[in-house]
Amino acid sequence: MDGFKQEIVKALKKELKISEQEISDLMEMPSNPELGDYAFPCFRLAGVIKKAPNKIASELQEKVKAKNVVEVRAAGPYLNFFVDKKELAKATIEKILAEKKNFGRGSSSKKIVIEYPSPNTNKPLHLGHVRNMLLGKSVSRLLEFQGNKVIQVNLNNDRGVHICKAMLAYKLWGEGRKPEKKPDHFVGDFYVLYAKKAEEKPELEEEVQTMLRKWEKGDKETIELWKKISGWAKKGFEETYEKFGIKFEKTYNESEHYKEGKQIVKAAFKDGMLKKDKEGNIIAELKKKGLPDKVLLRKDGTSVYMTQDINLAKIKYKDFRMDRSIYVVGTEQILHFKQLLKIIDILKIKAGELYHLAYGMVYLPEGRMKSREGKVVDADDLVEGIIALAKDEVKKRHELKDGELDERAKQIGMGALNFFILKYDTPKDFIFNPEESIALEGETGPYIQYAHARICSVFKKHGKSPAKIDYEKLKEKEEIMLLKILGRFPHAAKEAAEQYKPQIVSRYLLELSQQFNEFYHQHQVLKAEDSLRDTRLALLEAVRQVIRNGLYLLSIDAPEEM
């Protein structure tokens, strides 16, 4: 809570019989800033004091006196407070300029492991993974910014029937070729080829099963083939991760630990924590907890996905001893993770507090993406396309050397992509229309980057840091609005982290940039008289800093020129 609000709450407390916490919770920011800077609605009090809210407000108006508040005005049932603008400007700007990139940082200190994007190693990453990666990265930064220790890990789903499909197709029709393109794309082609051939020859399915059994037995030739295929896929992923600027402290491979889950389940069964169903499968009884029962070990002794997840949760905890463990996985697996949580609980496994960060599906205009049919928006193509688009726009405005042009286009293009995806509420599905979705105008990453570049440009032109600062000079509506928005940044960052919603930061930055653009349009900085100019420069310095801090949380670059 900021200092101004605190003073008002204290002053109100003297007149009221409710706690400071209650008063603080009731306080709002008026929708229309002309009404005041803070507001206290008196509806709730009416029941206690037995007077009309209007009357309560007008009576309080006379009594309440708070530090740094220049006027208290009753407006119907609201009691509105006007703070000293000079003090507001001083407190806000000085704090930001002193704390710089730490402005807004929190004081939490948990150890948190976050797992993403956990791809299958039989096809390249697509748009769904893009959402996953951008979300995972941004949430990592949000949590870190709150003071937590964040450990980013990845999991390769590198075994199973889907991998065998790509392997089989390569074996039958690959002619021993080496990748002549990005290796994960090369692998993906064979996965699609398998699906095509299998339509005509359903008996291929049998061969896949045979291959899977051979793999599980450790058949030398099959393992060699598997190493080749999954190795290529992983190598391709590394390149894509680099484009998105993500790095993992540890990467798990399903192939390395999928067997151990069985032991955990067997032991738990022996201890009576799990039951057998009629057919002899070992199951977790979840019905009484409101969820469907879950098979953990088939009667033939083979394990299921859930069994591996139990094991991995255990391994992760052994590796990191974290307080919390986050899984960035799509909404279609909500039930799966609800079950996992309960099972971990039943088995009394220490795994930290588990959290499924569920994100909505990304659809194409023609419907769901289908990797098997190759109907996807490929992550690499998407990046390439958006950067090319940004490049054209940069060229329209500037003549740059190739290296500089590429760098600028990359910052702007990736900024646009990042913002586009993070501006949607996390659990919501959305339709991605390649032609229409990526815009560089309106509510976009470049809009915010542009505000930042404009500020940089003012400073470049001026060439000196502000010297004659007089906070009294900031009186314009647009200036006051900027100050108020700036003051809200720590709260926005905190909310975003607590709710795992980068969107809150996106919306905040739009509001700040919008307000800056309005100010910029309306008022001159460099042509104002010396002390007004310098004070405005200090204000802009603060705006620039907060835009940078916010963009950092969304992992978007802030170029100095555009």
Partner RNA sequence: GGACCCGUAGCCUAGCCUGGAUAGGGCGACAGCCUUCUAAGCUGUAGAUCCUGGGUUCGAAUCCCAGCGGGUCCGCCA
Residues 357, 504: Cα–Cα separation, whole Å = 16
**Binding region for RNA (CB under 7 A) out of 92-100, 186-194, 312-320, 453-461:** 453-461
Using CB under 7 A, count the residues that bind RNA: 89
Applying CB under 7 A, which of residues 300, 399, 402, 435 lies at the interface with RNA? 300
Please, which of residues 73-112 interact with RNA by CB under 7 A? 75-76, 78, 80
Confirm or reject binding of residue 556 to RNA (CB under 7 A).
Answer: no
Applying CB under 7 A, which of residues 281, 289, 324, 342 lies at the interface with RNA? 281
Confirm or reject binding of residue 364 to RNA (CB under 7 A).
Answer: no
Residues 513-532 as x/- pattern, contact with RNA by CB under 7 A: -x--xx-xxxxxxxx-----
Could you tell me which residues come within 8 angstroms of residue 271 by beta carbon, excluding any fewer than 6 positions away? none
Tokens of 216: 């599980």
Alpha-carbon distance values, 421 to 74, 130, 221, 264, 418 (Å): 43, 9, 43, 39, 5
* Residue with tokens 């979300």, as numbered in its chain: 135
HSE-CB of 517 using CA atoms within 13 angstroms: 15
Confirm or reject binding of residue 405 to RNA (CB under 7 A).
Answer: no
Confirm or reject binding of residue 256 to RNA (CB under 7 A).
Answer: no
Applying CB under 7 A, which of residues 16, 56, 139, 390 lies at the interface with RNA? 390
Give me the least distance between CB of 117 and RNA, in Å please.
13
Residues 12, 9: Cα–Cα separation, whole Å = 5
Residues 141-170 as x/- pattern, contact with RNA by CB under 7 A: ----------------x-xxxx--------
Alpha-carbon distance values, 240 to 253, 390, 434, 560 (Å): 18, 19, 19, 26
Confirm or reject binding of residue 344 to RNA (CB under 7 A).
Answer: no
Tokens of 182: 């990005």
Residue 414's identity, in one-letter code, is: M
Q: Are 414 and 384 in contact (CB under 8 A)?
A: no
Give me the least distance between CB of 180 and RNA, in Å please.
28
Residues 303-322 as x/- pattern, contact with RNA by CB under 7 A: -xx-----------------
Sheet strands (E) in 205-350? 250-253, 275-276, 282-284, 294-297, 324-330
Q: Which is nearer to RNA, 246 or 537 (CB)?
A: 537
Q: Which is nearer to RNA, 257 or 324 (CB)?
A: 257
Confirm or reject binding of residue 224 to RNA (CB under 7 A).
Answer: no
Give me the least distance between CB of 178 and RNA, in Å please.
27
Confirm or reject binding of residue 24 to RNA (CB under 7 A).
Answer: no
Give me the least distance between CB of 325 and RNA, in Å please.
18
Confirm or reject binding of residue 32 to RNA (CB under 7 A).
Answer: yes
Applying CB under 7 A, which of residues 104, 117, 352, 446 lies at the interface with RNA? 446
Give me the least distance between CB of 391 and RNA, in Å please.
9
Confirm or reject binding of residue 172 to RNA (CB under 7 A).
Answer: no
Residue 97's identity, in one-letter code, is: L
Confirm or reject binding of residue 279 to RNA (CB under 7 A).
Answer: yes
Give me the least distance between CB of 295 and RNA, in Å please.
4
Confirm or reject binding of residue 71 to RNA (CB under 7 A).
Answer: no
Confirm or reject binding of residue 400 to RNA (CB under 7 A).
Answer: no
Select from 107, 104, 414 the least CA-distant residue to 246.
414
Confirm or reject binding of residue 447 to RNA (CB under 7 A).
Answer: yes
* Residue-wise DSSP of 417-468: HHHHHHTS-TT--EE--HHHH--SSSSSHHHHHHHHHHHHHHHHHH-S----
* Residue-wise DSSP of 143-175: HHHTT-EEEEEEEEB--SHHHHHHHHHHHHHST
